[in-house]
Amino acid sequence: MRTTFVLLVWVTCSILSAQDKKAYQLFDKKGKKVTFEKVVQSGLKTEVILFGEFHDNPICHWLQLELAQELASKRALILGAEMIEADNQLALNEYLAGTINQKKLDSVARLWPNYKTDYKPLVDFAKEKKLPFIATNIPRRFASMIHKKGIESLETLTAAEKAWMAPLPMPYDKDLPGYTKMIAMMGEHTSPNMPKAQASKDAAMAHFIIKNIQTNSVFLHFNGSFHSDNFDGINWYLRKYQPEIKVVTVATVEQNQLKKLETAHLNTADFILVVDENMTKTY
């Protein structure tokens, strides 16, 4: 009887194990599986972490918050994000300080439609722990100016407006993989100004990271994965502005299996977050 019971338990556990389904898996750039703790430990040894996300992916947002919590418990932490534009920094600071509430922030800052579900938890964590949260992106209207009129059009802005972007003239390399890929994807529907508008975002984010980084701290930055994939984009500008800066990158990809990193994703970042392609989206 006891033998039968033990066998039944073993069979049941085996079935449950076989039915277990993971939502994500982390790999290093060579395709070796790594743990979340490995990412944390690497983050503690660097100056900047560029966490590339899919904006509509809940696993990304959950792991971003988990990483922020782990880092903040062990080291001085600064948070920053593409999703808030630089000219909204004052309003963001007032919210963090408690001088305005969420309703007021909603009315004075240009928050993304998915802010409350995906980014508010990160901002509120910064507020609770009294951490800086930096709005790093160039105002969208200025990136739009570049797309329509060229990067030279920025010279017409006031000194106050120019403070919300990377210093001019902005360095630019049209041959970076992210920009050449953009042109290839858009084909005849694009213009040379489109990757320059993209570059203005990357440059602004790098500029505000460097401007706000502090000694013995780590700056955890949240951005669309395409802004830092393949170690270019923001990463390229960080090294252009400050060559010796230490940076760890995280890229997000989707696959239909989590056992092995697909060849196309190798060397995309220091760590690659693979999410099941069937994962529910936040919008």
* Tens-place pLDDT, residues 121-138: 999 999 999 999 999 999
Q: What integer pLDDT is reported at residue 157 of this predicted model?
A: 96
Q: What integer pLDDT is reported at residue 1 of this predicted model?
A: 46
Residue range 100-121: mean pLDDT, rounded: 97
Q: What percent of the chain has pLDDT over 70?
A: 93
**pLDDT single digits (tens) 8-39:** 334 334 433 445 789 999 999 999 999 999 99
Q: What integer pLDDT is reported at residue 19 of this predicted model?
A: 55
User: Is pLDDT above 50 for 144?
Assistant: yes
Dihedral class, residue 67 (left if φ above 0, else alpha if ψ from -120 to 50, else beta): alpha
Q: What integer pLDDT is reported at residue 181 of this predicted model?
A: 87
Please give the domain boundaries of the chain with CATH numbers for all domains.
22-27+36-48+56-137+217-251+270-276 (3.40.50.11550)
Query: What pLDDT band is residue 184 in, cutting at 50, 70 and 90?
Result: confident
pTM of the model: 0.92
User: Is pLDDT above 50 for 4?
Assistant: no
Query: What pLDDT band is residue 191 in, cutting at 50, 70 and 90?
Result: confident
Residue range 233-238: mean pLDDT, rounded: 98
Please, what's the largest Cα pairwise distance for the chain?
87
Query: What pLDDT band is residue 247 in, cutting at 50, 70 and 90?
Result: very high
User: Is pLDDT above 80 for 6?
Assistant: no
Comparing CA positions, the residue from 255, 193, 264 lying closest to residue 229 is: 264
Dihedral class, residue 98 (left if φ above 0, else alpha if ψ from -120 to 50, else beta): left
79 DSSP β-pair partners: 133, 220
As to burial, measured by CB atoms within 10 angstroms (0-12 exposed, 13-18 middle, 19+ buried), residue 103 is exposed
265 vs 4, which has greater pLDDT?
A: 265
